[in-house]
Chain A
Amino acid sequence: MSKPLISVRGLTKVFGDFTAVDGIDFDVAKGESFGLLGPNGAGKSTTMRILAATSTRTSGTVEILDKDPEKFGPLVRAHLGVVPQQDNLDGELTVSENLYIYGRYFGLSKKFIKGKIEELLEFAQLEEKRDVKVEALSGGMKRRLTIARGLVSEPDILLLDEPTTGLDPQARHILWDRLFRLKEQGVTLVLTTHFMDEAEQLCDRLVVMDKGAIMAEGSPQGLIKEYSSKEVLEVRFGSDRNKEVAPQLTTMCERMEILPDRILMYTEDGEKLLEQIAAAKMHPTTSLVRRSSLEDVFLRLTGRTLIE
C-alpha cells in the first residue's frame, strides 16, 4: 500500500480545561473518501481545522503529504481545498470575483484563474450567477460556490466541514451529486457530518467520533454489520406505555434501545418480530421495519442519538 496522504497519531487539542480532541489516530489514503461522523461537539471541526494546517495541536503527530502542517503551514495549505462549516465568502463581491481573488491567494496566474473560473462555474451550476453579488445567493448556491472556491487551486485533498448542514433536501442532493463527481475524478475527500445518510452516501471509510475520541472505524456497511443487526423494528406504544412493555419485549430480540418516543428492537427479521409482538397481544400504535443504519451504530456505541 502506498503511503497515506494524511497520517494522524495521538492527536489531542485542549482548550483551557476542555479536551476537544482526545488522542485520535487515523490515516487517509490517496483517492479515498474519508468521513468523521459524530454529533455536534464531538471534536470533528477542531480536527478539520488542524488538518487544514491552520489550527495548532496540543500534542500528537500529524503528517499531511509527508509534512507537519504546524511547521509547513503555507506549503501544506498550497495543496488543500478547504470548505468550512460557515460559508466565509466575501458577500460584497460577485461570484466570479470571489473565485478570482481566492485563486490569487494561491499565487495563480490571472490567465489560469480566468480559465478555471469557467470550469468551476459550470461545476457549481452557477454560470448564470457569475456577476451576481454573493449576498444575493441562496444557501445552496453559496455552499456550492464555497466548494468551487476550494477547488480553484486543484487541491490534492478537499476538506469539507459539514458540507450540507442547513440545506434543504433538494439542495443537499445537488451537492451530493457534485461531491460524488469529485470522488469519481479521484479527488481525496475528507468530510465531517452528523448526517448518517450523508456518511453512507459519500464515505468509503469513516470513523465514528464522540467526545473527542474515535469509537469505531470502518466502511459504512462494515460498521453496520459489526455493531448492529440486519434490521430494526421501531415500535411506539405512547410515551407512558413504552417503559411498561419494555421488559416483555426485551426477551424477543437481540438488543433493544428505549428512546423517549419509541423503542428500537434489533433483529435479523423485522416482520417476523412484529408478528410475535402481535401474537403476544401487544398492540403498538405505530410500527416500522427498516434496515440498520449508521444511526444505530452510533446509538450502540454511545447510547445516544446523533442529532439531539
Chain B
Amino acid sequence: MNTGIDVVQIQRFGAFYIAAARLRSMAKWKSIIAAVDIGNPLFYLIAVGVGIGVLVEQGSGTSGTSGIKYIAFIAPALLANSAIAAVMDETVFPTIEGFKWRKLFFAQNATPITGRQIALGVYLSALCRAIASVSIYYILLLAFDVVDFGPSVLLIPIAVLGGGAFGAVILFAAAIIENHDQFFNILGRLVIMPMFLFSGTFFPLSSMPIYLQPIGWVSPLWHATELGREAAFDYGVSTLMMTVHITFLSVLVMIGLFLSMRQFERRLAK
C-alpha cells in the first residue's frame, strides 16, 4: 500500500494539478500561441490605427468617442476580446477533448481528483493563458503609443475579468454539448461574431437603436469594455454603472463556474 498519498492535500490542490497539466499541454503549442497573440493585435493596430481610425477622425474628429483617439477608444474592447478568444480556446477545446476526443477527464477522474476540480483546473489554466495574451496586447498598445503607461495598466485585469466571465459560461456550455460540430458553428457565427460587433466595440452602444442595445447589456465584452475605457481614459462612466459592470461580470463568473463544476461532476459520474 502506498502511504505517500495525502487525500486532504489533493482535495486542497487538485485543481492546481489539473491547471499545471493543462499549462504543460499549452506549452507544446507555445510558438503558435505566441504568433496568434502577437500577430492578431498587430493586424488590428495597423488596420484600425492607420486605416479606419484616420477615416473616422477625418469624418467626425473625436466627437463621437468622447475626445479619445479612435484606436484608443476601441483598445479596451480589443483587449477584452483577446481575453475572450484566449479563454474560449482554452476551455472549449480541452473540454470537448476531455469528455469526447481523448477522454482525458476520465483518466484524471480515475485518480483522487474530482470532476469539480477538473472544471476549476481547466478554467484556471484558461485564465493564465488570457493573462499572457492580454499582457502581450497591452505591451503592444504601449509600443504603438495607443495608451500611456499608468492607470491604463488596469486594462489587463479588467480584460481578464471579461474573458473569465465569458469563459465560465462557455465552459459550462462545452461540458453539456454532445454534438460539437453544430456547437462550433453556433458559437462562432451566432455568439462570438454578433457579440464582437454589437458590444460597443467600434462605436458607443448608445449610438445603436435601442432594440439592438440588449445585445451589449448581456455581453461580457461590453461590460469589460466600458470598465476599461473608464480606467484608462476617464470616459465618464458613473460609479453606479461601474458597480453594475463589475457585479455583472463577477456574477457571471460565479454562476458559470458553479454550473460547470456541477456539470463536470455529473457527466463524469454517468
Q: Does A77 contact B (CB under 8 A)?
A: yes
Does the CB pair A78–B5 fall under 8 Å? Answer: yes
State the Cβ distance, A80 to closest chain B Cβ, in Å: 7
Point out the residue from A90, A107, A112, A154 that lies within 8 Å of B104, measured CB to CB: A90
- B-contact bits for A94-138, CB 8 A (1 contact / 0 none): 000100011011111100100000000000000000000000000
Does the CB pair B1–A56 fall under 8 Å? Answer: no
Q: How many A residues are at the interface, by size bracket?
A: 35 or more
Q: Does A303 contact B (CB under 8 A)?
A: no
Q: Does B108 contact A (CB under 8 A)?
A: yes
Specify which chain B residues have a CB less than 8 angstroms from the CB of A79 in the assembled complex.
1-2, 5
- A:46-70 near B, CB below 8 Å: 52, 54-56
Of all chain A residues, which has the CB nearest B9?
A107
Does the CB pair A106–B112 fall under 8 Å? Answer: yes
B-side interface mostly = helix
Additional A-B contact list (7), CB under 8 Å, known A78-B111, A93-B24, A104-B21? A73-B114, A84-B106, A92-B25, A105-B17, A107-B17, A112-B4, A153-B5
Q: For the complex, give the distance between the alpha carbons of A84 and B109 in Å.
A: 12
10 A–B contacts from the bound complex (CB under 8 Å)? A54-B110, A56-B269, A79-B1, A79-B2, A82-B110, A90-B107, A101-B21, A105-B108, A105-B112, A106-B10
Q: Does A88 contact B (CB under 8 A)?
A: yes
Specify which chain B residues have a CB less than 8 angstroms from the CB of A88 in the assembled complex.
102-104, 106-107
State the Cβ distance, B213 to closest chain A Cβ, in Å: 43
Does the CB pair B104–A74 fall under 8 Å? Answer: no
Q: Does A217 contact B (CB under 8 A)?
A: no
Q: For the complex, give the distance between the alpha carbons of A6 and B169 in Å.
A: 40
Q: For the complex, give the distance between the alpha carbons of A98 and B33 in Å.
A: 22
State the Cβ distance, A85 to closest chain B Cβ, in Å: 10
Does the CB pair B112–A74 fall under 8 Å? Answer: yes
- B:79-111 near A, CB below 8 Å: 102-104, 106-111
Q: For the complex, give the distance between the alpha carbons of A153 and B3 in Å.
A: 10
Q: For the complex, give the distance between the alpha carbons of A101 and B114 in Å.
A: 15
Of all chain B residues, which has the CB nearest A104?
B17
Given A90-B102, A93-B25: A105 in contact with B111 (beta carbons within 8 A): yes
